[in-house]
Amino acid sequence: MYCKKSLIVFLLCLLTNCSAQNNNDNDKEKKKQKMYKNELAQESSPYLLQHKNNPVHWLPWGEKAFALAKERDVPIIISIGYSTCHWCHVMEHEVFEDEEAASLMNKQFVCIKVDREERPEVDDIYMSALHAMNQRGGWPLNVIVTPQGKPFFGGTFFPKEQWMKLLKAISDAWNKERKKVTNIASELTKFLQENEQHPKSEISPKIWQELQENLNAYYDEKNPAWGKAPKFPSSQTLRLVLLLKDAEAAKKQALNILTTMQDSGLHDLVGGGFHRYSTDEIWRVPHFEKMLYDNALLATAYFIAGDQYKRSDLTRTAERTLEYMLRDLRIVNNGDFSGYACAEDADDPGGEGSFYAWNEELLTKVVSPEEAKKLAEDWNLKKAEVHKNRFGHKEPVTTHIPFPRGTSLAKDIHSTKSIEKRLSWEKYYPALLKERETRPRPHLDNKVLTSWNGLALSAFAHGARLTQKQEYITATRELASLLLARHKKNGLIRLAGIPAFINDYGFLLCGLMDAFDALGDPDLIDGAIKIADEAIQKLSHEEGGFYSTTAGRDDLILRSRILYDNAYPSGNSTMALGLTRLWNVTGKRNYLSTAEKSIEILGDVASRISISLGTLLTAHLARQRGEMTIIVTGKENSGLLAACRKNHFLATVVDLKKVKDKNWPILETRKEIKEVSALFCVGKTCLQPAHTEDEVSKLFTEYSKFFSH
């Protein structure tokens, strides 16, 4: 970790001694709010538009802001967030809407607002800088940089009094100790640039044993999770573990975590889907925002687990998550499908979490008093009063959040009785949801990002492949078509006017491969080839892996690689996974070699941080398993095809009748087979063909012997 004992330490000490301002003294009714209009009013980002009437003279990211800072010879405040972020709202209300704080910011700094979802490359650089300063990340992310964009201080949320003391100290240091400040900024920037270098090495053959040891070290057996509070859904690790063989301890932990989360406050029982994370140890109190990426990743994990363990409750949790996405996140403009929105806000007009709150009294609006009493017991609901925190904001009433984990379900979460109990609540959801729709809704961030919609495509494809339900097949086909149309003349776009980043390429590539597994449409492979080739051409790093952005950006202090999974998968790792699977179908060796170089970037550290590399290790697993295909032949093969698609091997299922004109190596010597059969192959080695669904089931057991670790 980078740490400089000078200005950074001085400012941190200053902040430690600052007392938090109690904004209850600020009577909002007495505040005479003037209507301001800054340059964010011209932007399209919902987050930037939320700040367009701040008295702060915000500028969007771009050349104008940096030129102005150089002309005025002042530092820049870069404030990064997103429109559904609770603490971003709090800091806006308490600081950025305050005329005194805004006056200081405007006088001594140039101020830039950044939507992290629009510009992940900017967020990645300055979040890395914050971590290098030994500070915990989060949003809002507020960094102070030189007019050249070099960071020298950063933090997340600051109350007004702390913020103003900090800015005054920084302004004084800038004017009186300029050399010290610029030296710190230069050294920190150099550290970030050098930290981009990663010597390539093979992943240890012991990686799966080391992964188990890592998982054991982090596992909370009492309140199942990998980690302590705040508890996040470890979506990428969950999926990896479910795909492993000979990893019973890890798989048991994963099953416990998935079952616990669906019984927790994290799970929106009535509406389906999941909140961002749990703020407490027991999974009761969520951070209420609902993100598209969380729900897509968790739906995928629950579909795999439900099918693998034959657990109807887990499958229903996955299905209801997709139902939530289809109902509340699907965007239609003028009758045309436009994709899926980014997120729903943590806050709502009634206070944080009030939209999701229930108690016995509220339940009686919908069901009988007897049913309301029973549901309140099942969900551990108790009547309580709303209260305000020290900033004057309404807090969620924890006992109003459905929490079946706090009832008898906790005694044996995997029992048939518990499974039946969960499914018994299904009959109440439609009426409760209808009642809930009368409440003021949280804000919807309606941006449609290529990357996150790529994750949604994977989720719908898993639902289609494992359940064969028509609504998921339709949703997969519709979304794949929309995302392929985002490939314009000049290349793939993230949003209108913003070129794609590595996450957009990686998530879409994996989504297209999953969609092919579900639909068998060879046009999806053609689209995947186009996306893969363009990413390799525009973003390949000379030492392996991928840059996050294209070359020629003079507004960034470095061209970074996004290597580690965070809230969502690493773009570098998803490219490695997608390329490995694309090689599996097309036989193009350059896809495999590019994937291998991407994996080897972190080979020397994988053993130590395997719990943070779920997607990278999934790509490594796919590479280890090799050219795994299940080729289904014959005209009337739908039953056999559906049975073959219910596999968890990272194998590609090919419907021969749809792809006969393709010159893929996996089709050699097989194009003329006319009987209905399923060929389970690794490379050119195949098992005896299966002709019935029962034979397919037996061959799954034989097939699994190819990849025991």
Sheet-wide strand order for 151-155? 58-60, 110-115, 76-81, 141-145, 151-155
The pLDDT assigned to 562 comes to 85
pLDDT score of 30: 38
User: At residue 131, does pLDDT exceed 80?
Assistant: yes
Predicted confidence (pLDDT) at residue 619 exceeds the cutoff of 60: yes
Check the CA dihedral 107-109-110-115 and report its sign. negative
Token digits of residue 355: 């939209």
Beta-bridge partners for 77: 111, 144
Q: How far is the first Cα of the chain from the last one, in angstroms, to the nearest whole number?
A: 35
Range name among 122-131, 318-327, 385-394, 445-454 with the lowest pLDDT average: 385-394
CA distance 79 to 74: 16
Q: Which residues of 37-68 are buried (b: 16+ CB within 10 A; e: fewer)?
A: ebbbeebebbbbebbbbbbbbbbbbeeebbeb
In this predicted structure, the answer to whether residue 25 has a pLDDT above a threshold of 50 is no
Report d(CA 529, CA 148) in Å as an integer: 38
pLDDT in tens, 347-367: 888 888 899 999 999 999 999
Helix axes 450-467, 312-324, angle to 10 degrees: 140
pLDDT of residue 391: 58
Q: Of the spans 7-11, 242-246, 483-487, which averages the highest pLDDT? A: 483-487
Q: Give kind and range of the element (H or E) at residue 106.
A: helix 99-108
* pLDDT band for position 393 (cuts 50, 70, 90): low
pLDDT digits (tens, 9 = 90+) for 555-614: 999 999 888 898 899 999 999 999 999 999 999 999 999 999 999 999 988 999 999 999
The CA distance from 453 to 511, in Å, is 9
Q: Which residue, chain included where needed, has tokens 């590609």?
A: 652
Angle (CA) 575 577 581, round 5°: 115
User: At residue 29, does pLDDT exceed 50?
Assistant: no
Percentage of the chain beyond pLDDT 90 is 80
Q: Check: CB of residue 611 under 8 Å from CB of residue 218.
A: yes
> What pTM, to 2 d.p., does this model score?
0.93
Residues with Cβ within 8 Å of residue 136, at least 6 apart in sequence = 156
What is the rounded average pLDDT for all residues in the chain?
91
- In order of 166, 175, 181, 410, the CA distances from 169 in angstroms are 5, 10, 12, 52
Side chain identity at residue 502, one-letter code: I
Q: What is the pLDDT at residue 26? A: 42
